[in-house]
Amino acid sequence: MACETVENDTRPAIVRMTGAVRARMEALLFSRYPRREWATFFSFGVRETADECVITIADVLEPRPGDMNPDIGIVELYEQYSVRAAMFLRSSAIFIGVIHSHPEDVPVLPSSLDDDMDIYYRDYFSGFSEARAYFSLIVGKTKNGDFSFSGRGWVDDRPYSVRELLTVGPGQIRRDSKAPKHITDAEYRERLHRLYGDAAATRLLNSTVVIAGCSGTGAPAANVLARAGVGRFILVDPERLEKSNLERVHGSYARHFEERPYPFKVETLRDLILKINPTADITAIVGNIVQPFVRDHIVTADLLICCTDTNYSRVAVAELAYRYLVPSLDVGVLLEGQKGAVDHEVGQITVYSPGLPCAYCLSLVDPWIAAVELMSEEEKERRRQEAWDATERGEAAAPYWRDVPGLPTVGHFTSLAGSMVASYGIGWLTGTFFPPRNFIQFDILSPGFGFVGFDAVSQPGCYCADLIGHSDQAAAYTLVTAPEHWPEPRVLES
Amino acid sequence: MNAEVKARILNELALLSWEGRLLEEPAAVIYTGLPSTLDCVEKTDVLVPVPSGYPQAMLDYAFLPVDSQLKGRVPGAIQENVQFGDRTWTRISYHPHNGGGGQAWDPRVHGFHTYVDEVLAWLAKQ
């Protein structure tokens, strides 16, 4: 349990928290600044991936009067506070960690006292939980107000070192990194720098954006984000291009259809992004956001832009927002009309962020359509046959099968919707602007563009309100999982 | 079986007042010893498969043991026989959440812990 052994094989960790939690923590931790420290316990969830660990801070267990020694400059936590934290741990599936401040201008490296504290609490809390995870964070500020942090932790006996803090919430996505990238080619985005400032451009460079669904809306969204200077992309789509995609998928060209098999959509979008920005870091995954392997990548991202326009993916992105604190913008389009007369071209953008309502709270899920989206072709065929048999018997066919009409979309409108959602992504990432409402619907063929927008709240008792930051420890309350008939996801080699 | 699906189902089975057992391959839950109102059948086992994408995909259908005397007496068309583990079961068309009288499927509310009530109501309808 000695800290010296922790230095071996230490892997990186990312800490995610909501803006509300961070504000509460900072108010507390810097309340005795500039010369005195303060501390608090916090609860957190954990997801370990092959390469790293992502912890999600669920809540702050703020100290009460008498929980810590107020008469000394350093942190001294009394037993009553530790016992209260341990009792929380015993009754919960998530874990307890501690965060404390160092005085102004003092480096945030752990002192020998901090080492002792971590040795003590790691051992102490392990007696109150079947699973064992403990993290300890240190934060500080300089006279200039510059924020710094350090952190370390263990999941069972695996040691981690915190490299990044991601703070998310409506209107805020902030990444504090130990090794941020710096702009070297400002000329390319001179207008963006002028409009939003250098900090915004640096923020985009240090952002990781997931594009889930790399077709009609996803491809133009990625196109816009790449030109804006987003530094890292995770592209997710299970499908190969089809000829009909040429009409709306940016980055697809006639030459892609000269030989079979046609390329994967993530492949052509990766090529497009690299043509715009050869230094972009791109992970192209042939897979689906519901699959655990893909989720391992998504939990490292700043923002998820979901362009799949399916019922189950709305459930999945909402779950990623509240359990894993990954904010997202979900976009969909609908064109209505027939025989050459188009009556409506409707776009819909939904913001999912921890604390905001999920797709169920927003009534955006049709259970039958979601079930069909997840069915195997064999099951669909069997159900169609049973529906036909039921009709022959004079019974209703609907309980067996109802057709789900495909939604026709065309390139001019998917490009518009994809560009729109990308612009809101740029605004959210840079903190410069945010969608006017958390749910937006518009129809470009209606007067006033048929704008509908509202900010809803979570239904009382919904998972989206109760499981914020619970990560993998809320597995028993998962709402959507990957069907076993889906192919295993994989990262495309560059 | 996906670890999250398994965690979810085991959590639901822990909430059951009746005995329920998870089969992992092929994935299904067997409710054991459910009461029947049929004179000659005191108790029955009922199998319900875990659908692809569960719990977003709704629970649907119910399976009776292949030699069950309840077949043809409980509502629903008799479909094919299917092997689950070491037993053969007959699929019966029963769709409580898909137009069969139950609430619309909501995975925040429904699961194997609530589906048992639908199955009990179905067994009582003979």
pLDDT digits (tens, 9 = 90+) for A57-87: 999 999 999 999 999 999 999 999 999 999 9
| Residues of chain A neighbouring B79 (CB-CB closer than 8 A) | 386
- Answer yes or no: do A447 and A309 share one domain: yes
Nearest residue on chain A to B100, judged by CA atoms?
A399
3-state helix, strand, coil in chain B (%, to 5): 20, 30, 50
Q: What pLDDT is stored for residue A4 in this prediction?
A: 37
Contact A476 B11 (CB under 8 A): yes
Contact B57 A386 (CB under 8 A): no
- Answer yes or no: do A355 and A476 share one domain: yes
- Answer yes or no: do A155 and A194 share one domain: no
- Answer yes or no: do A430 and A454 share one domain: yes
Task: Say which residues have a Cβ less than 8 Å from residue A446's Cβ, sequence separation at least 6.
Answer: A344
Quote the minimal CA–CA distance from A314 to chain B in Å.
11
Of A315, A389, A485, the CB nearest to B56: A315
Residue A287 belongs to what domain range? 183-376+403-491
Domain contains A30? yes
Which of A112, A144, A169 terminates a domain? The answer is: A169
Separation between Cα atoms, residue B123 and residue B73, nearest integer Å: 9
Domain contains A390? no
- Answer yes or no: do A143 and A196 share one domain: no
Contact B58 A477 (CB under 8 A): no
Quote the minimal CA–CA distance from B62 to chain A in Å.
13
Contact B106 A360 (CB under 8 A): yes
Task: Say which residues have a Cβ less than 8 Å from residue A338's Cβ, sequence separation at least 6.
Answer: none
| Residues of chain B neighbouring A400 (CB-CB closer than 8 A) | 93, 95
Peptide bond into A263 cis (omega under 30): no
| Residues of chain B neighbouring A462 (CB-CB closer than 8 A) | 108
Quote the minimal CA–CA distance from B54 to chain A in Å.
6
The amino acid sitting at B21 is: R
| Residues of chain B neighbouring A379 (CB-CB closer than 8 A) | 52
| Residues of chain B neighbouring A386 (CB-CB closer than 8 A) | 77, 79, 93
- Answer yes or no: do A155 and A187 share one domain: no
| Residues of chain B neighbouring A483 (CB-CB closer than 8 A) | 52-53, 57
A429 and A302 in contact (C-beta within 8 Å)?
yes
- Answer yes or no: do A215 and A320 share one domain: yes
Contact A476 B54 (CB under 8 A): no
User: What HEC string does chain A produce?
Assistant: CCHHHHHCCCEEEEEEEEHHHHHHHHHHHCCCCCCCCCEEEEEEEEEECCCCEEEEEEEEECCCCCCECCCCCCCCECHHHHHHHHHHHHCCCCEEEEEEECCCCCCCCCCHHHHHHHHHHHHHHHCCCCCCEEEEEEEEECCCCCEEEEEEEEECCEEEEEEEEEEEECCEEEEEECCCCCCCCHHHHHHHHHHHCHHHHHHHHCCEEEEECCCCCHHHHHHHHHHHCCCEEEEECCCECCHHHHHCCCCCCHHHHCCCCCCEHHHHHHHHHHHHCCCCEEEEEECCCCCHHHHHHHCCCCEEEECCCCHHHHHHHHHHHHHHCCCEEEEEEEEEEECCEEEEEEEEEEEECCCCCCCCCCCCCCHHHHHHHHCCHHHHHHHHHHHHHHHHCCCCCCCCCCCCCCCCCCHHHHHHHHHHHHHHHHHHHHCCCCCCCCEEEEECCCHHHHCEEECCCCCCCCHHHHCCCCHHHHHHHCCCCCCCCCCCCEECCC
Of B7, B58, B99, the CB nearest to A371: B58
| Residues of chain A neighbouring B11 (CB-CB closer than 8 A) | 476-477
Contact B55 A368 (CB under 8 A): no
Question: Looking at residue B55, what DSSP letter applies?
Answer: T
Q: What pLDDT is stored for residue A3 in this prediction?
A: 39
Give the best residue of B1, B4, B15, B91 to mutate against chain A (max A CB count within 10 A).
B4
Quote the minimal CA–CA distance from A177 to chain B in Å.
31
Q: What pLDDT is stored for residue B119 in this prediction?
A: 94
Separation between Cα atoms, residue A136 and residue A108, nearest integer Å: 12
ipTM associated with this complex: 0.91
Domain contains A76? yes
- Answer yes or no: do A252 and A331 share one domain: yes
Q: What pLDDT is stored for residue A7 in this prediction?
A: 55
Contact A475 B3 (CB under 8 A): yes
- What is the tally of structural domains in chain A? 2
Which of A144, A169, A194 terminates a domain? The answer is: A169
Question: Looking at residue B102, what DSSP letter applies?
Answer: S
| Residues of chain B neighbouring A390 (CB-CB closer than 8 A) | 77, 93
Contact B57 A479 (CB under 8 A): no
Contact B56 A484 (CB under 8 A): no
The full set of domain ranges for chain B reads 3-123
Digit-by-digit pLDDT tens for chain A (494 residues) are: 333 344 568 999 999 999 999 999 999 999 999 999 999 999 999 999 999 999 999 999 999 999 999 999 999 999 999 999 999 999 999 999 999 999 999 999 999 999 999 999 999 999 888 878 999 999 999 999 999 999 999 999 999 999 999 999 998 999 999 888 998 888 888 888 888 888 999 999 999 999 999 999 999 999 999 999 999 999 999 999 999 999 999 999 999 999 999 999 999 999 999 999 999 999 999 999 999 999 999 999 999 999 998 999 999 999 999 999 999 999 999 988 877 788 899 999 999 999 999 999 999 999 999 999 999 999 999 999 999 999 999 989 999 999 988 767 889 999 999 999 999 999 999 999 999 999 999 999 999 999 999 999 999 999 999 999 999 999 999 999 999 999 999 999 87
| CATH code for the domain in which residue A109 is found | 3.40.140.10
- Answer yes or no: do A272 and A160 share one domain: no
Domain contains A391? no
Contact B2 A482 (CB under 8 A): yes
Domain contains A267? yes
Separation between Cα atoms, residue A263 and residue A259, nearest integer Å: 9
Contact A292 B2 (CB under 8 A): yes
Domain contains A393? no
Residues of A with a Cβ under 8 Å from any B Cβ are 290, 292, 312, 315, 360, 367-368, 370-371, 373-376, 379, 386, 389-390, 393, 395-396, 398-400, 462-463, 475-485
- Answer yes or no: do A133 and A239 share one domain: no
- Answer yes or no: do A150 and A229 share one domain: no
A200 and A49 in contact (C-beta within 8 Å)?
no
Domain contains A372? yes
Contact A481 B95 (CB under 8 A): no
Q: What pLDDT is stored for residue A2 in this prediction?
A: 34
pLDDT band at B101 (very low <50, low <70, confident <90, very high): confident
Of B7, B58, B107, the CB nearest to A475: B7
Contact B52 A398 (CB under 8 A): no
Domain contains A384? no
pLDDT digits (tens, 9 = 90+) for A394-419: 989 999 999 988 767 889 999 999 99
Q: What pLDDT is stored for residue A139 in this prediction?
A: 97
- Answer yes or no: do A283 and A138 share one domain: no
Which of A169, A199, A224 terminates a domain? The answer is: A169
